[in-house]
Structure 1
Amino acid sequence: MSSVGRDGEQGLGRLMAAVSTVRIPDKVRAVVQAEPGDPAPGQLWRARWGEIVELLLITEVDVSAVAMPVMLDDCVADARTLVLAADQTSLAVTLAVWMDLARHLPMYILDRQIGTVAVDVSRSGWESDAIAGGARYGSGPVSAADPRHEVRARLEDAMREFAEAKWAPSGSGDLARLMAAASLSPQRLIDAMGISPQRALALRRGQVAVDDAEARVLAPLLGITEEAVLEANASPPAALVVQLSRPRRRAQVMRLARKRGISEHSAWLAATYGVNAQAARQTGKSQDPGWEERIDRYFQVTLEN
């Protein structure tokens, strides 16, 4: 993933330019400015991954979310696109919904809630209810040069990129081998990192993961980047990854990235292994130690200090 500052702000700028010609209702502005929560059917979200930024309508939520792309410009809606009336959305403008481009998407591509629709999208055949309430379908392209073709192709590409997006570290588990190859003895780890003999021995044996602070020390000793050091840890617990994939956690990851001047992906790795290493030191257990509270504490410390 690219830098938060560049891609995220450029994407946001493109999105805000699209709504600059309409008056944003105060209640919508409050939703956009609020800390993101968990998504729910009927909500409109901004999705962002790298340089790709789109608006999505959420229709189902489980471990992942089922969503379809939407646009405020109904002039490019083709015959397979449903155009909601202005009074059917909290944005108070018509909304073009590409229903046939719905995909299962990971939660972590969701960036910020934008608004809601007034149609119960969790119901089967909800489009009929929407049409009864004033919605309509767009019209087919009139020629090969019709911009509807280009818009649909771009949205198809965006939804594919969203569906394939990944942030969770693979966790190669190669850290012990890398330290052995660099002749990093437990005593050298103690001297360089200021850690206890017990932790140095556990690190050297590959029994524990390093956190982001330790990775900064190890990186020059191993001749690799801090991100590569973190990726050489063992895979983090799945429950921790699930918790950090929620939109509210992504907002905290983005703040961490901006504070440290690093990429969003690097900030995600730092948070993952920072929380995991702290939990291991405090509990000595591999089962779920109560990730929610530990993640809260991690961000409280890293973002406020």
Structure 2
Amino acid sequence: MAAIGAVRIPDEVRAVVQAEPGEPAPAQLWRARWQQVVELLLIVEVDDAAVAMPIMLDDRHADAQTLVLAPGQTSLAVTLTVWIDLVRRLPLYVLDRHVGMVTVDVSRANWETAAIAAGARYGSDPVSRADRRHEIRAGLDDAMDVFATATWTPAGTGELARLLASAAIGVQQLADTLDITPQRALALRRGQVPASDREAAVLAPILGLSHQAVLEANPPPPAGLAAQMSRPRRRAQVVRLARRRGITEHSAWLAATYAVNAQAARQTGQSREPAWEERIDRYFQVALGD
């Protein structure tokens, strides 16, 4: 957020930046972050993913294929360069902070033309091969590829039952070790339910594996749960959980997802998809003390 912090912006916009992220929408400006890559984006379309373009908060590196919005066309009140030809379809979970919006109607097919009529302009061609605009464009192109291919959802090998059998851990021993009922221990031994974050932590040294490896030996989480855990506001909670526990974001994502899934699996006789959003809310209320 250094770029945003250096910009003199209205108080109401700063409040948006500092608030917990909501759902992304067209015409919004977001920070995207994955591993060590951080960029600002303009969202132009949202469904189960986000169609977005990289932006910068000045026009120093604008080339002939970029659109430069005037300060009056953004809530940040600064010149904003949009690399319209570097548009990508990105997973929602790379978005981690809403930073503002544009006043241009990006849902229109010819929105660039309308933006120019309202005060925007195109950049200019680089003056030489050494022009830094080439480097900036290449870096943004690489960053968008990182975002487009980012993934956190565990494949889930489903190997936990085999691992428990190989370690010759009986049902009663498993129940005593994990402080669970024999019924749940039997279900774990049969691979019918996933191990929770707590259970994985106890099993890790017994199986000679890392905590994360035990979690990933679970079956893959249900698609509905993974989709809910991929929303930007869930990522913000995952970040807080990681900081609280002193673990990586990826480990926190796995821990939260499998904890919610394990809790749902304890309920028998379900005839419909669990209310994942409510279950996730309850999990983070306890885990984060909200």
TM-score range, shorter chain: over 0.9
RMSD: 1.2
- 2:256 is aligned to 271
SS, match of residue 208 in structure 1: coil
* Cα displacement string for residues 108-134 of structure 1 (whole angstroms, at most 9, x for unaligned residues): 000010000010001111000100111
- 2:191 is aligned to 206
Match of 1:236 among 207, 210, 221: 221
How far apart, in 2, do the equivalents of 1:191 and 1:297 lie? 27
SS, match of residue 96 in structure 1: strand
Query: Counterparts in 2 of 1:48-197, with a 5 A limit?
Result: 48-197=33-182
The offset of 1:19, in angstroms, is: 3.9
SS, match of residue 83 in structure 1: strand
Given that residues 58 and 78 in structure 2 are in contact (C-alpha distance below 8 angstroms), is that contact kept between their aligned partners in structure 1?
no
Given that residues 283 and 289 in structure 1 are in contact (C-alpha distance below 8 angstroms), is that contact kept between their aligned partners in structure 2?
no
TM-score under structure 2 length normalisation: 0.98
TM-score under structure 1 length normalisation: 0.93
Uncovered stretches (5+) of structure 1, i.e. residues with no partner: 1-14
Residue type of the alignment partner of 1:196: T
Deviates more, 1:188-197 or 1:149-158: 188-197
How far apart, in 2, do the equivalents of 1:20 and 1:304 lie? 29
The offset of 1:186, in angstroms, is: 1.1
SS, match of residue 124 in structure 2: coil
Given that residues 29 and 98 in structure 2 are in contact (C-alpha distance below 8 angstroms), is that contact kept between their aligned partners in structure 1?
yes
The offset of 1:180, in angstroms, is: 1.2
Percent identity among equivalent residues? 70
Residue type of the alignment partner of 1:152: R
- 1:9 is aligned to none
Uncovered stretches (5+) of structure 2, i.e. residues with no partner: none
Residue type of the alignment partner of 2:98: Q
The offset of 1:20, in angstroms, is: 4.7
Residue type of the alignment partner of 2:179: G
Residue type of the alignment partner of 1:105: L
Residue type of the alignment partner of 1:205: R
SS, match of residue 68 in structure 1: strand
**Paired residue total:** 290
Distance change in 2, residues 1:139/1:59 (3 Å): same
